[in-house]
Structure 1
Amino acid sequence: MATSFKFIRVLGIPIYVNYTWFIVFGLVVYNLAVLYFPYLGPYYSPSTRWIMAFIASITLFASILLHELSHSYVAQRHGIKIKSITLFIFGGIAQMVGETRSPRAEMKIAAAGPALSFLISGIFWIITFIFIRDMAISPVLAVSQFLAYTNMILAIFNLIPGFPLDGGRILRAIIWAKSGNLSRATLITSRIGKGFAIFLIVMGLWNILQGVFIHGLWLIFIGIFLQQAAEEGYRQTLLHRALSSVRIRDIMVYPVMMIADDITLERVVNDYFFRYRYNSFPVISNDNLVGIISIHDIKGIEKERWPFMTVRDVMHRNISEFTISPDGGALEALDRIIEGKRGRLVVVEYGKVMGIISQRDIMQMLKLKTDLGAT
C-alpha cells in the first residue's frame, strides 16, 4: 500500500506528500487557532483565527519544502541526482542518489537549506518590525511573526552539528577536508547525531514525568527518528564508498538463463522458477530480448489457467525498465532493482544480452569488500 502521493514536480524533482503529514498539519492548525493566535490578538474572531492558522500552516510547510529544494538545487548543480522530495510528519527529506564528490560540495549543499530558512525568517521579521504596532489587530502581521520565529528555529535546529542534520553534514565536510576520510567523518558526526537524539528522548521522558505529555511524546518521536536516520546515514555512506567504483560488467552473471515467449506458464513455474529458484527470467523471441517475467507476474493468475497461457501473455514488455548498460555503476543497479521490485536487471550492450545482475550479486560484492577491508 502506498504511503505517499505525488503532489507536484519542481526543478524536475517529484514532490511527494506522506499521509502522516496530514497529522502534523492538523495539529499545527489546531494549536495556532486555539492557543497561539488568541494570545497574540484577543480581538481576532474565531473564523479569522482559523483562517490565519490555515494560511500560516500552509506557508510554514511551503517554507520547509523550499528548504529541501535549496539543498536539491545546489546538489543538482554539483551533478547529484535528486530522486524525490517527501513531506512527512517530521518535516521534509530530499532523497539524493549518490554521495557528494568533495568536502566543498558537501558543505555548499548542507548550508543551502539553513541559509534559505534564515532568509525567509529575515523577510518575515522585517515585515513584523515595520508594522509591529498593529500586531493586536493585524492578522497578516501575526502570521508574519509566527513564520519569522518558525523559520529561524528551523534553521537553528538544522545547524546542530549531528548527522544527518545540516549542521552535522557541515561538520562532516570540515572533518572530511582535514582528514581526507569520508567514512571517519561520517562515523564521528553520526555519533554526535545519535547523542543528540538520545538527549531529545531523555528530555521527552522528563517532560512526560512533569505532566507535559504531548510535548514530551513529540520529543521522543523526533529523537527516535534522528537516531535511526543517523545510523542509516552511516550505513549508506559505507555502502556508497564500497560500491562507488564497482562497474556492472565486473559483477554481472553470465551466461544468462533465458526462456522463450511461447512456453506455458505451467512449464515456466515447474522447469524454471522451481528448478533454478530465481524470481525473474529474461524472455526472448527469435533470439531477441522481448520482455521479462517474474513471480509477481504469475502469482496473480489462477493456477488452473497456467497450462493454457504463455509467457507472452503476462510478461513485462517495457524493456527500458529492466535493462541496464554494463558500464553503469553497481549503486545505480541496486537503486533500480529496489525501485523496480523485480529482483534482477538484464545487462544489455548494443542490443545484445551480456549478463544479468541481482541484488544478491551486489550485496555479495559489498560483503567481500567489507570483509577484506577494501571499503
Structure 2
Amino acid sequence: MQGFRVGSIFGFEIRIDLSWLLIVFLVLWTLSAGLFPANYPGLSSATYFGMGLVATLLFFASLLAHELSHSFVARSKGIPVEGITLFIFGGVSRTRMEAENPGDEFQIAIIGPLTSVLLAAFFGLIWFVGRNAGWSVVVTGVASYLASINLILAIFNMLPGFPLDGGRVFRSILWKYTGNKKKATQIASSGGKWLAYLLIALGFWELFSSALLGGLWLILIGWFLYNAAEASYEEILVRTSLEGVKAREIMTPYPETVNADLTLQDLVDKYFLSRRYQSFPVTQDSHPIGIITLNQVKDVPREEWVYRTVKDTMIPTDKRVIARPEEEMSQVLEKMQESGVRRVLVTQNSSLKGIITANDVASWLQRQRDLGRQMG
C-alpha cells in the first residue's frame, strides 16, 4: 500500500492509495445527493454540492489528524515513522518497527480515538454556537455531520478487534498482564476476526432488509478487517520468529553472479532462460555493485536488449540492497521492503558473501515451523 505522494506534514510523508479516490467520490455523492438534501431541503444543487465538498475534505482532514496523532506519539517513543497513507477505509501510519513495551503501545493506540473525540467536540461546539446564533444551515449542517462522523470514527476504532486502535489497546493490556506479545497479538487478532464475522453478518442482514448500500459497506469493512487481523498476526509471527536471527543464518551463500558489462540479451539467453533464479547479484572487478531482476529486464523494450547493459538497468548497492552477515534480520527485512525488489546482498569488506530473497526467508520460517512441530 504505497500509492502516490502528495506532500509532507511535520516531516511525515503523506501518500494516497488509489483506492482512496473511490471513497472520496462515494462520500461526496452520498452527502451532496443524499444526506444534506434529505436533512436540509429547499437549497440549490450547487449549495448541496458545496456542502458535500467541504464536508468531504474536512472529513479526510480529520482522518489525517487521527493518523498524525499516532505518528507524533510513535515518534516521541523513538519509533521511526515513514509517513501516512490514506486508503479506502481510512488511513495508516507507516512505521519501521512496533512498540517495544505495552505502555508505549497503549499510548500510541489510544491517542487516535481521543483525537477523533476532540474533533467531534470541536465541530459539535461550532454546530451548537451556530444554531443558537442563527447561522446558516450550510455551516451548521456541515459541522453537525463532522461532529457525528468523528464520534462514530472514535467509537468504531475503539472496538476491541486488532488491528483497530481498540484492538491495539486490548493487545497492550493483554501484553502487560501476560508478558507475552505473541500470545496477546493472537488473542487480539482473534477478536478482530470475530468482529469481522459480526460485521459481515450484519451486512448480509442489511442486504436482506433492502438496505443495499449499507449492507455492502458492512460486508466490505468486515472483509477488510478480517484480512487485516490475519495479516497483522502473521507479521508478528514473522518478527517474533526472526528475533535475534542474523543475516548469515538465512542467506544463500556465494550465489551465482553476472558481469556488469553483460548485455540484457546475453543475460536473458545465458542466465534467465537457463537458470531457475529470478535475480542475480551484479559484480564488477569481482566486487558486488547491484542486483538485476527478471522484472527489471521485462520493463525494458526488447529492441534495447542488444545494446543496453546490466549496469544500465540494475539496482545499485547504494539503494539499501546490501546487508552485513551479522546484521539483524529485522533490519534486513526493512531494507527488503524499502528496495522494492525483496532481495538484499550480504557483503563483508566489499566481498559478496550471499544473497537473501523473500523465498529464503519463507523457507527458513517453514523449516522452523516444521522443526517446532516435530519437537513439540
Q: Given the two structures, how large is their TM-score scaled by the length of structure 1?
A: 0.89
Rounded to whole Å, the distance in 1 between the matches of 2:345 and 2:290 is: 10
Aligned length: 373
SS of 1:319 mapped into structure 2: coil
C-alpha displacement of 1:56: 0.8
1:122 corresponds to which residue? Answer: 121
C-alpha displacement of 1:144: 1.3
After the TM superposition, which residues 84-103 of structure 1 pair with which residues of structure 2 at under 5 Å, given as runs?
Answer: 84-103=83-102
C-alpha displacement of 1:307: 6.2
1:166 corresponds to which residue? Answer: 165
Rounded to whole Å, the distance in 1 between the matches of 2:299 and 2:143 is: 54
C-alpha displacement of 1:301: 5.5
Q: Deviations over 1:211-234 (max 9, x none)?
A: 111111111111111111111111
CA RMSD of aligned residues (A): 2.6
Q: Is the 8 A contact 1:282 1:291 kept in 2?
A: yes
SS of 1:131 mapped into structure 2: helix
2:35 corresponds to which residue? Answer: 36
Q: Is the 8 A contact 1:258 1:282 kept in 2?
A: yes
Identify unmatched segments of 5+ residues in structure 1. none
1:237 corresponds to which residue? Answer: 236
Rounded to whole Å, the distance in 1 between the matches of 2:272 and 2:307 is: 18
1:332 corresponds to which residue? Answer: 331
2:184 corresponds to which residue? Answer: 185
Q: Is the 8 A contact 2:29 2:52 kept in 1?
A: yes
Q: Is the 8 A contact 1:162 1:194 kept in 2?
A: yes
Q: Given the two structures, how large is their TM-score scaled by the length of structure 2?
A: 0.89
Rounded to whole Å, the distance in 1 between the matches of 2:145 and 2:306 is: 67
**Relative to structure 2, which stretch is displaced further, 358-367 or 114-123?**
358-367
Q: Is the 8 A contact 2:160 2:192 kept in 1?
A: yes
SS of 1:95 mapped into structure 2: strand
For 1:328, the aligned partner's letter is E
Rounded to whole Å, the distance in 1 between the matches of 2:308 and 2:73 is: 51
Going from structure 1 to structure 2, the CA distance change for 1:10 and 1:249 (only over 3 Å counts) comes to: farther
C-alpha displacement of 1:31: 2.3
Q: Is the 8 A contact 2:20 2:88 kept in 1?
A: yes
Rounded to whole Å, the distance in 1 between the matches of 2:336 and 2:229 is: 24
C-alpha displacement of 1:274: 4.4
Rounded to whole Å, the distance in 2 between the matches of 1:119 and 1:36 is: 24
2:314 corresponds to which residue? Answer: 315
C-alpha displacement of 1:251: 2.4
**Relative to structure 2, which stretch is displaced further, 188-197 or 336-345?**
336-345
Q: Is the 8 A contact 1:68 1:92 kept in 2?
A: yes
**Relative to structure 2, which stretch is displaced further, 88-97 or 173-182?**
88-97
After the TM superposition, which residues 1-375 of structure 1 pair with which residues of structure 2 at under 5 Å, given as runs?
Answer: 4-134=3-133, 137-300=136-299, 310-317=309-316, 319-373=318-372
Identify unmatched segments of 5+ residues in structure 2. none
Going from structure 1 to structure 2, the CA distance change for 1:209 and 1:192 (only over 3 Å counts) comes to: same
For 2:272, the aligned partner's letter is F
The list of structure 1 runs, each at least 4 consecutive aligned residues, that deviate by more than 6 angstroms after superposition, is 302-305
C-alpha displacement of 1:297: 3.6
For 2:277, the aligned partner's letter is Y
SS of 2:256 mapped into structure 1: coil
SS of 1:246 mapped into structure 2: coil
Rounded to whole Å, the distance in 1 between the matches of 2:2 and 2:315 is: 25
* Percent of paired sites with the same residue: 37
Q: Is the 8 A contact 1:42 1:136 kept in 2?
A: no
SS of 1:66 mapped into structure 2: helix
SS of 1:148 mapped into structure 2: helix
Q: Is the 8 A contact 1:135 1:141 kept in 2?
A: no
Q: Is the 8 A contact 2:261 2:310 kept in 1?
A: yes
C-alpha displacement of 1:312: 3.5
Rounded to whole Å, the distance in 2 between the matches of 1:32 and 1:253 is: 56
